[in-house]
Amino acid sequence: MYRRGVAQLGLAHSLGVREVGSSNLLAPTIFEISMNHATPRILIIIPAFRAASFLAELIGRIEEAAPDADILVINDGSPDDTTEILEKLNVNHLVNDRNRGKGYALRRGFDFAVAENYDYALTIDADLQHRPEEIRRFTESPFLCDIMIGTRRMDARQMPFNRRLVNNLTSLIVSIFSGRRIRDSQSGYRMISTGVIKRLHPKSRRYDYETEMLFQAGLLDVAIAEVPVSTVYGRQASYINPLCDTGRFIRQIWRRLFL
C-alpha cells in the first residue's frame, strides 16, 4: 500500500566520473564525481518496525539536515501507531500488510527509488541510532561511490561488547568474500546509486539482505567507500534474533563457498 506521492524534483542529469583510486583486495576503488551538473536526486529510505516513538524527532531532524532530499518510510507491519503518526506528519510512506523483514522493506524502497528515477537511495534506521545531521557526510562528500557505508568506530566505551564482537567478525568475513575492505558491514546507514541497485538482486528478506548486497557488489566489482559516522546506542530495542539471523548469515557464507 502506498500513501501519498513523492514530488518530482526535476529532470534526470548526467554526472562526470573520474577514477582516482585503483581497486584491489580489501581496498575500495574511489571515483570522483564531478558536481558541475544538477544536484543528484536523493531518496531517503527509512525501514520502520515498532518505531513510532522515534518518528517525529527523526523526520524533523532529517528535513532540517537534508531539505532537498525526499523521504520515504516503509512501515513493515508495525502493530503500533506508526501509520497514524506518518499521516499526521504528512510523510510519504509504504505499508506492508505484515512484518516481512528489513530486507523486504528496503527492497520496496529501492524499487520505488528506481521507478521514480532517483540517482541515489540513502538508507537510515528508524530508531535514531544514526544521526540525521551526518547525512551531509554522504551527500556533500567530494568523492561519491556507487555504495557508501556509514562506518562507526568500534569503541568499547560506546558499542556493547557483543555487538562489537559480532560486527568485527562479520565484517572480516564480508571483506574476504566481497574483496573489499569493509569495517562495519552491519551498518544500515548507506547511500547507494540506483544504477547499482538495478544490478543487485539479493534474495534475502531479513537482516542478511544488507550482507548479501555487499557480497554481490564485490562480485560485480562495484566501488565501495566508507564514511565515518557516530556510534550511538541508547534506548533502542534490537529486533535481531541471535539464533535465526546468525543462521542466515552462515547461509550467505555457504552460498558463496558451495553454490
pLDDT in tens, 206-226: 778 888 899 899 889 999 999
Contact 145/31 with Cβ under 8 angstroms?
Answer: yes
What does the pLDDT read at residue 256? 56
What does the pLDDT read at residue 3? 54
- CA end-to-end span of the chain: 35
What does the pLDDT read at residue 133? 97
Rounded Cα–Cα distance for residues 211 and 209 (Å): 5
What does the pLDDT read at residue 40? 92
Contact 148/226 with Cβ under 8 angstroms?
Answer: yes
What does the pLDDT read at residue 19? 33
In the three-class reduction of DSSP (H, G, I as helix; E, B as strand; rest coil), residue 31 is classed as: strand
∠12-13-16 over CA atoms, to 5°?
155
Q: How far is CA 89 from the centre of its chain?
A: 23
User: CB atoms < 10 A from the CB of 6, how many?
Assistant: 15
What does the pLDDT read at residue 121? 98
Domain count for the chain: 1
Q: Quick one: cell of 169? A: 567478525
What does the pLDDT read at residue 175? 77
What does the pLDDT read at residue 36? 40
Any idea what the CATH number is for the domain that residue 139 is in?
3.90.550.10
Structural domain boundaries, residue 137:
2-258
The residue written with cell numbers 558499542 in the block is 159
The CA R_g of the chain, rounded to the nearest whole Å, is 18
Rounded Cα–Cα distance for residues 253 and 23 (Å): 23
Residues of the chain with pLDDT under 70: 1-38, 154-168, 233-259
